Amino acid sequence: MCVVLTANGAANAPLYVDTTVKKCAIVLSEELPPGTAANAASVLGVSMGRHHPEMVGHDLTDASGGFRHGITTMAIPILKARPEVIKEMRARLQQFEPDLLVVEVIAATRTTRSYDEYAAAFETTPVGEIEYYGLALFGDKKTVNKFTGGLALMR
């Protein structure tokens, strides 16, 4: 369950994540080239938004009255780690699920041409042989910080 706040407590008000208790972070392999890293972060961000739509703010109106879609209401740091650190982190994170949402993107994205092929790669690759491009975490701020607090920002 996610803690959310409503704007001014009003009925039908937009929902927002209470960032004093919840956090989202993305961890990418520091070995990824820039384009692959950007793609992996994008895939993970979209996946987080699907599972936690309250992360996305309400739609907006610009100064001329034009419609604008809402964006995330919370900062999502993009961090980097060595591939072996990500693999070890993924194994340790299992004990915190399902309270902590963990989404991964694996190297099979480079060799598969469809989601079905990607799913098949997950189903047939032994867990110890999975090459992670990145992880996204969403949940209790203290738990997310426990795993990501020592990681550097990707630059």
Q: Where are the domains of the chain?
A: 20-47+78-153
pLDDT of amino acid 18? 83
Under CATH, domain 20-47+78-153 is a member of which superfamily? Bit1 (3.40.1490.10)
Count CB atoms within 10 A of the CB of residue 31: 12
3 has a pLDDT exceeding 60: no
Question: Are β-strands 4-6 and 15-17 bridged in parallel, bridged antiparallel, or unpaired?
Answer: antiparallel
pLDDT of 102 reads 97
Model pTM score: 0.86
Let me know: does 118 contact 109? Beta carbons within 8 Å. Answer: yes
**pLDDT exceeds cutoff 50 at 56:** yes
What is the rounded CA–CA span in Å between residue 119 and residue 44? 16
